[in-house]
Structure 1
């Protein structure tokens, strides 16, 4: 009897709301009971069909009833109606939700494991709103690049001046006649390649893939109070397919995309913080047209989390809401402790900013009912691939304020697998000498949602693998030894700390590696208290001790002084006496006091756009304040490793192809360190200093002494006759892998090891770098920036290189033949000078005339040697010198004729 009375009450409430302007959902909320579960819909339908409603309104009601019949109703930020039988999802939008900003984050939840299509990649995050236009609903991406205060006249012109982006126009299925709630079919929005995967696949896979709606469907759907989580599975096909090995048939593939549509956090007490170029934060920048500042057109906020102390009066306090990271349940058990430690390393920095235990770590349960891409959770994710080899730490940010809202770090298992395989790897090492950092390297793709900013990538794996190899070759460690396990633990801990730093808002700091002197690197008393580097945001190689020095820490175990200072700038609260701050500008003097200490050497900062060519102290994969010493140590280590490889290093029954991989790794490591030396030539340190009472300069040229030392080391380790000595036995054991199947192709090159080609390729990289036009222009400019006689001149550079490379001709101790490796190097040097003299390069005019001068001197020396020693030289050397002289003569004559 009581149930019947309750049903009548709910029916009356519903009809009242229906007739007098409220809505069906409100009736349900008032009664706190789902009407559909009480079987009173027939009663309500009879009441609603009476003459109380007009025909059009009754039709709208019937249409609404027909759509939601048999669906599962999910109430939350938006009400969803989900039908598994028909693969339909309908979204109900209330009138007050129109023209209101929401945050969308789009994540590639499943990939194909190669060619840039990887699980966990963030595809997009942006601000959007719904706008009704007649019988259509527009999905609009908000333009946040230009702003003005709402009470200023400039605000009126912005909408006319800068357009938002109407991404989709959706047909409205029905509108509730009383509540005016709008119902749309989400298939029209999320089954039409919303994230732009088609152009992404074409770019990455070099094939035309088309979305197949018949193979696409919705996955998990959830609606919560502040966010909606939806999975879409997209089927793609291509008639010709692509050159992929990870798929059973490359003509068809499926990708799962996770969508989070969430409430934008507003009026939550968060105060944007102004950026300072001396401290490396990612920024949210916009033009403010209500400010007339001729010097600065942009307003820049740093990206950071909203941390509030639970006790504002305490010098150090736990935050009201800590930053919580969840370790995904897909992470192997043996790596979870290292990941946990890497995350918690940052609590030391936050203590300096006034927060205790600012970061927490939790383990995602195996039976979790949420996904890592859910915007409510910050996660450390694990994925597998054939060719990725990177980690990445992106954060999702409120584009209006810079407040970080969500972060998901992804790590490719290959980064650890390459270390554990270490010296048992089965792939050839990339022979490129120079690689750029990727975290900020943007790749323009034909979609508005995708940019490539991979962080620790293939080069990190190479560096980590060479470290494991040194343990084996120099310390006799085995793959299962405690030494290797500790090495892997330190590497992963450091890698995670680096990526967590990005999710806290920090950019790279490639100056961090210069904090310690070479003789401090293996002093654990220093490295375990102060840090191995000034910042874990650098790209740090493994710290391999030189011969005769006890090994210290391989990778940082604590954050550095710069990291602590940067966190202080970003997160320290303004003193309690000034807590009335409501505008970012009110913090200026407080922040300036923190930033003023930036000239301290251990707080030096240089990020991605600061490091190319010019600054020898802002490098990737270097270590210590004296790279000349550090690089020599590593090249000496490499020479010892080659000797060990030559002494029957492989185990009985092991393939010689493994030896080829090891030889390549060591050779690459050797030249990678040699290239660090070249940055000293024409180098200038650069600091992001502001004008203050000290006399520091923004640019300081490298001393003449250091540049001459670098040239001498390059001659000794790269260009000298005895720089490379390999036994015939070792060279004859460098066999290639003969496995040929998917994922292991037989490379289309020489079967035997191309030792001349490999060495010449590296020597050429270094030599052409030393003589490129940018460096020559800098050398010329530096002569005006230093006192007379304190700069390395172009003539000295040319003369030093020529004398070192052509020693057998220009300064022979006795008549001697020229080896094949030296002949190749001399030809390349001659090619460079001829290109300058014949004006086929962009060398400065002084460079061209000096090249002509050096060619004349070389020709005279060659002709003199040929005249005196022609009968004692071998035919290789004789032919080489005669051809070289002839080429110089013809080039100089050609230049005279052209003039």
Structure 2
């Protein structure tokens, strides 16, 4: 018998027969092992839920789930396959910067989803509710479902199953960037960030089960390379941004809610979808009011309790006197529901200590902290099928109240030596909080802004309020009516339309029509965001943070108040012990007291009254602003850029030193061209440039030209430019400080005029008229080059050089940017973002 030697790392030599036998033995062993593995895998997949979750902590609720402490996993028991639910993501712990817009409590995407099974996979499918067939015919519904794309937002693998119940690992779904924070930070040029699983984990304290909703939360860390100032200012390590993200699986409401038809005059948000089952002679686009479910116990009674009242709960983190102010302001809405025939149907309570704010049963008002003052929000979780509001959630920025206190300090100059602070300051700030709470809760009831309300004695809390500043005969300031108290008369009409319970036997369509006709008969007009915020807006009553029935009259009144305030402005606006440089922060809102009323007055020039009229409702559809009102607005606007109005008292300028160490310039101070020192001319430049930008917007110029062509009595662009140039470049030369301000205004006027001439969206008529006026000004400046006054010659030389730059390439001309105003908005609050 031959025996082969054995070498390291080699098999011994074997004869062919032995080798053949060995091969079949190995093959048989392999098959046995493979079978065992397959049997093991089959056994694993056949494990019951109890076996798979043995030793795990169970949470019983809408969707039962299990906590695997050792693995750090959430296993979700899906016992509702193919059943539609509402999925909502949110941000319970935010980033803390208004500029980044990633606040605590922010509601993210809301969508109807369902778990569907395909073999071993469980898909989280989002049907497309934007396109439907509201029909009893299943084939008709199916044809629409198949016509439009759906979305699978996640896929799971079945870990175990038992009957109709399937277990999946929810953890990867929870540990992703569900709020798209990385995308937002990149869009805002803050850096590129992605969720890092090793630094993320389930947050069990806020992972809870309730009868109608299951709640999950995770600590998510996004890592990247920080590039922006904002993200650096609010994170300990800007390369690692850690927040919390929340996920809610919510039971959809029952079918007892009755959607209400949308009316563009009523002031509500709309739930929109295309219904392909509508008859051909009816609109395919369907719109429903967004509102809460509310029924009367007795719809026939003049006053009735609600079957289930609307209850809002206030964040326990709000301190006094904030807490009481927020509760009082939010509770104003009960006045509107009482006017609609409800008794105690709207209530505000403090969130119970044992209540979870994420529980879907709690409408929430929360107090949000940021590094800078910013917007407040009124958002809602709604049923996309019907527009029913399931939960209202208000987020109120805590720093906003300090801005109102700052404004009060500037208005009252309260810090007399040896005298205690005046209580009016806190009273004004708290009054604003009441109004703010009411405003944001209004959004969660389904209401839009109504920016026309301020012209009708502050008839809605859904407008943005400018503090009403009155001056007494002795020149002192009266703030007793700074902000309105109580719900507005427009708000009562809106709630009546949206929430009145007519009972099952009533003709709801006819009843709603009667309510709307009465609202119109009482003279109420609803004008909202798209009209008030549009560049070159045209509606003479749709403005943010304005006051009074006539914008021009109010602008002149505010300029009178401003002049008086600035003439006596002093260190009395500073609390004892503060650096004198901080006088600038209090000065800013006083110097720019007119900023919002300027925009309001500008809309009267080339303005057009209009309504959201329906055919046959009797409203005036459109109407020009009278020429007299337009010229009054023009004169009021020109007053704001007068050198004498822009000048600050020398006594005041001498009291504002450069910033001390650790008190650097900020968004609340004027930008400066003078280095470290306060720039009085820069402050004037930012104010004057804003007026001129509104006055000479391309849209306004186009309307002036068109309206004059259609009706010759309307002010035309030529007349407006003639008057503007006469009062700026044609005014008598001044010297000294006012002379420098005059030169500043002249050059800003020229830059804005050239910007209008170069605007690609300007129609031919605007371009022609503007080109002519530029040429006429050029001829005047050529003459001024020969003037004896050196300042006049210098200004003419600069103006001509600027015009020549424009003439070389008009299409490429970019006017020199003016210094911007310090941040003003939000002087009030917004949801539009929020919406």
Give the shorter-chain TM-score range: 0.7 to 0.9
CA deviation map 1:94-133 (0-9, x unaligned) = 2xx1111101222211123223332111122211100001
Instruction: Give the direction of change, closer, same or farther, for the CA distance of 1:128–1:706 in structure 2 (3 Å limit).
Output: same
Contact 2:784 2:793 in 1 (8 A): no
Instruction: Give the direction of change, closer, same or farther, for the CA distance of 1:502–1:882 in structure 2 (3 Å limit).
Output: closer
Q: Which one of 234, 250, 269 corresponds to residue 262 of structure 1?
A: 250
Q: Give the Å deviation of 1:623.
A: 0.8
- How many residues are matched? 756
Match status 1:122 vs 2:41:
no
Separation in 2, partners of 1:859, 1:604: 46
Separation in 2, partners of 1:311, 1:82: 47
SS of the aligned residue for 1:350 comes to: helix
5+ residue gaps, structure 1, are 1-53, 423-465, 517-532, 579-585
CA deviation map 1:199-242 (0-9, x unaligned) = 23433562222322222222233222221122212123225576
Q: Give the Å deviation of 1:355.
A: 1.0
Instruction: Identify which range, 720-729 or 55-64, moves more after superposition.
Output: 55-64
Q: Give the Å deviation of 1:314.
A: 1.5
Contact 1:509 1:538 in 2 (8 A): yes
Contact 1:242 1:250 in 2 (8 A): no
SS of the aligned residue for 1:393 comes to: strand
Separation in 2, partners of 1:124, 1:566: 28
Q: Give the Å deviation of 1:295.
A: 6.3
Separation in 1, partners of 2:629, 2:63: 65
Separation in 2, partners of 1:163, 1:815: 70
Q: Which one of 370, 381, 391 corresponds to residue 376 of structure 2?
A: 391
SS of the aligned residue for 1:138 comes to: strand
Separation in 2, partners of 1:624, 1:717: 18
Separation in 1, partners of 2:193, 2:126: 26
Alignment correspondent of 1:155:
141
SS of the aligned residue for 2:592 comes to: helix
Match status 1:608 vs 2:522:
no
Contact 1:385 1:413 in 2 (8 A): yes
Alignment correspondent of 2:269:
282
Instruction: Identify which range, 553-562 or 293-302, moves more after superposition.
Output: 293-302
Alignment correspondent of 2:221:
235
Alignment correspondent of 1:297:
284
1:91-490 matches, within 5 Å, as 91-94=76-79, 97-114=80-97, 115-152=100-137, 153-176=139-162, 179-204=163-188, 206-218=190-202, 219-220=204-205, 221-238=207-224, 243=229, 244-267=232-255, 269-293=256-280, 296-365=283-352, 367-368=353-354, 370-420=355-405, 422=406, 466-472=407-413, 480-490=421-431
5+ residue gaps, structure 2, are 1-38, 811-835
Alignment correspondent of 2:630:
707
Q: Give the Å deviation of 1:507.
A: 0.6
Q: TM-score, normalised by structure 1?
A: 0.78
SS of the aligned residue for 1:622 comes to: coil
Q: Which one of 512, 519, 533 corresponds to residue 453 of structure 2?
A: 512
Separation in 1, partners of 2:373, 2:697: 32
Separation in 2, partners of 1:182, 1:278: 49
Q: Give the Å deviation of 1:829.
A: 2.7
Instruction: Give the direction of change, closer, same or farther, for the CA distance of 1:389–1:829 in structure 2 (3 Å limit).
Output: closer
Instruction: Give the direction of change, closer, same or farther, for the CA distance of 1:337–1:209 in structure 2 (3 Å limit).
Output: same
Contact 2:76 2:170 in 1 (8 A): yes
Separation in 2, partners of 1:754, 1:793: 37
Instruction: Give the direction of change, closer, same or farther, for the CA distance of 1:170–1:706 in structure 2 (3 Å limit).
Output: same
Instruction: Give the direction of change, closer, same or farther, for the CA distance of 1:172–1:58 in structure 2 (3 Å limit).
Output: closer
SS of the aligned residue for 2:141 comes to: helix
Q: Give the Å deviation of 1:575.
A: 4.7
Instruction: Give the direction of change, closer, same or farther, for the CA distance of 1:188–1:248 in structure 2 (3 Å limit).
Output: closer
Alignment correspondent of 1:829:
749
Separation in 1, partners of 2:189, 2:806: 46
Alignment correspondent of 1:733:
655
Instruction: Identify which range, 494-503 or 288-297, moves more after superposition.
Output: 288-297
Separation in 1, partners of 2:325, 2:735: 60
SS of the aligned residue for 1:509 comes to: coil
Instruction: Give the direction of change, closer, same or farther, for the CA distance of 1:297–1:546 in structure 2 (3 Å limit).
Output: farther
Separation in 2, partners of 1:247, 1:758: 32
Alignment correspondent of 1:878:
793
Instruction: Give the direction of change, closer, same or farther, for the CA distance of 1:893–1:291 in structure 2 (3 Å limit).
Output: closer
CA deviation map 1:536-587 (0-9, x unaligned) = 1001111111343855422121111211111011011225642xxxxxxx63
SS of the aligned residue for 1:117 comes to: coil
Q: Which one of 495, 514, 521 corresponds to residue 567 of structure 1?
A: 495
Q: Give the Å deviation of 1:306.
A: 0.8
Separation in 2, partners of 1:642, 1:391: 31
Alignment correspondent of 1:640:
564
Separation in 2, partners of 1:679, 1:687: 15
Q: Give the Å deviation of 1:491.
A: 0.7
Instruction: Give the direction of change, closer, same or farther, for the CA distance of 1:743–1:131 in structure 2 (3 Å limit).
Output: farther
Separation in 1, partners of 2:752, 2:199: 57
Instruction: Give the direction of change, closer, same or farther, for the CA distance of 1:381–1:887 in structure 2 (3 Å limit).
Output: closer
Contact 2:698 2:756 in 1 (8 A): no
Match status 1:537 vs 2:457:
no
Separation in 2, partners of 1:880, 1:211: 57
Q: Give the Å deviation of 1:467.
A: 4.2
Q: Which one of 543, 562, 565 corresponds to residue 619 of structure 1?
A: 543
Contact 1:318 1:357 in 2 (8 A): yes
Alignment correspondent of 2:34:
none
Separation in 2, partners of 1:239, 1:841: 39
Alignment correspondent of 1:64:
49
CA deviation map 1:729-775 (0-9, x unaligned) = 32233234334489979989621122223312322232233223211
Alignment correspondent of 1:50:
none
Instruction: Give the direction of change, closer, same or farther, for the CA distance of 1:316–1:643 in structure 2 (3 Å limit).
Output: same
Separation in 2, partners of 1:197, 1:802: 49
Separation in 1, partners of 2:178, 2:807: 62
Q: Give the Å deviation of 1:348.
A: 1.2
Alignment correspondent of 2:3:
none
Instruction: Give the direction of change, closer, same or farther, for the CA distance of 1:361–1:847 in structure 2 (3 Å limit).
Output: closer
CA deviation map 1:441-492 (0-9, x unaligned) = xxxxxxxxxxxxxxxxxxxxxxxxx245313369999885332232122111
Contact 1:513 1:624 in 2 (8 A): yes
Alignment correspondent of 2:691:
766
Q: Give the Å deviation of 1:625.
A: 0.8
CA deviation map 1:594-638 (0-9, x unaligned) = 222343465210110122320121000111211222222222222
SS of the aligned residue for 2:287 comes to: strand
Separation in 1, partners of 2:228, 2:785: 58
Q: TM-score, normalised by structure 2?
A: 0.84
Separation in 2, partners of 1:371, 1:477: 48
**Cα RMSD for the two superposed structures:** 3.2
1:517-532 matches, within 5 Å, as none
SS of the aligned residue for 1:645 comes to: coil
Separation in 2, partners of 1:741, 1:69: 60
SS of the aligned residue for 1:275 comes to: coil
Alignment correspondent of 2:819:
none
Q: Give the Å deviation of 1:263.
A: 1.0
Q: Give the Å deviation of 1:866.
A: 6.4
